[in-house]
Amino acid sequence: MAVTRKEVAAMAGVSVATVSYVINNTKKVTPEVRERVLKAAEHLNYHPNLVAKGLVTKETKHVAVLTDNIQNPHYGRILRGVQHVAEQEGYIVSVLSTNYSPKQTITELLSRNMDGIILALCFYVNHDFAAVLNVPMSYEDENLYTDYRQAIFDIVKTLKELGHTRIAYLSGFSNTVGHVRYFHLMDALAYYGLTPYEELIIPGDGYSDEAAGYNAADRLLETTRDFTAVLALNDMMAIGAMRRFWEEGLRIPDDISLVGCDGIKTTAFTTPPLSTIQCHAFHLGEALMSRLIAKIHQEEDDPPLPVKTIEAEFVQRESVGKAPR
């Protein structure tokens, strides 16, 4: 049988109301009383009835993370960051994948007693869901985002210093020009006096896994062999491209220098170790959850939440070398 607040109050020698103040953190009590209540709750293995509490406070302490690429370790690191903050603040987290459920089903699920939602989706999908969900939401936007600009400039600078002038880009998306990393790459090429050759920009179909990288590298090889360096949208695509180049007899980095993005752990164990952009996904997950909690409790007259930027960093490894003669 579940332990009640009345039993906790009896053991702690306080009123049931005082137990509620301590458990819900709604009213100040003396440190000595607080400690007695918490010790009694721990001794009796008392757990608050969150459903009953939610009926009173209108909070369920339940949030959802919506993602479209759960197989990518990058999103797993975001989820760990979300979970880290959620556990500290007493929230439980459900994860829903758009890859396996239609949008209507997901919106119905999210409308059932969720305090808020974190959107960990492709950049152009976030706004689609944000437009139809009437709950507090947290996702990357102009107020919370990962800044890849300096990392991509560092990549282009490094490649140019190593003699590379024709740099290919495996975008993963059909709308290549709509992606922020594409903009940064174009800016970096222009800044360092390099030409952005159209035939070296390989669009995709919205997928960004290893198979997508393999196929993109295949299309690049069919289009032209006149390139010496490749930047992929993410690490998974870079690993897939690495396989295709190997099949073609092209050595990395002797024939082609290759760079991914996201900084997933696997990149340190490929042959050769893959250069990447470390984007600190765990910290992004923490920031997304912290911002969501702030939005859940935000009042109309509260000041806007501060802008937070997570700076990505170029991690150079053995997959980048001098351009072949």
* pLDDT tens figures, 270-292: 999 999 999 999 999 999 999 99
The crossing angle, in degrees rounded to 10, of helices 235-247 and 210-223 is 50
Q: What is the dihedral of CA 272, 275, 279, 282, to 10 degrees?
A: 10
**Using CA atoms, how far apart are residues 320 and 257, in angstroms rounded to an integer?**
4
Residue ranges of domains in the chain: 1-38, 62-141+281-305, 146-279
pLDDT on residue 132: 58
Contact 319, 253 (CB under 8 A): yes
Chosen CATH of 146-279 out of 3.40.50.2300, 3.10.129.10, 3.40.109.10, 3.90.550.10: 3.40.50.2300
Q: pLDDT value at position 97?
A: 80
Q: Which amino acid is at 296?
A: I
N-to-C CA span, the chain: 77
As beta bridge partners, residue 277 has 314
Q: What is the pLDDT of residue 323?
A: 96
Query: Tell me, what's the pLDDT at 122?
Result: 64
Question: What integer pLDDT is reported at residue 31 of this predicted model?
Answer: 86
Q: What was the pLDDT predicted at 175?
A: 66
Residue with tokens 């991914």: 260
Amino acid 252: pLDDT? 97
Give the pLDDT confidence score for residue 300 in this predicted structure: 79
The parts of the chain modelled with pLDDT lower than 50 are: 50-52, 54-57, 124
pLDDT of residue 49: 57
Nearest-angstrom CA–CA distance, 113 and 107: 12
Task: Look up the pTM and report it.
Answer: 0.79
Say whether 249 sits in a helix, a strand or coil.
coil
* Domain topology for 62-141+281-305: Rossmann fold (3.40.50)
What local confidence, expressed as pLDDT, does residue 42 receive?
Answer: 83
Contacts of 124 (CB under 8 A, 6+ apart): 175, 178
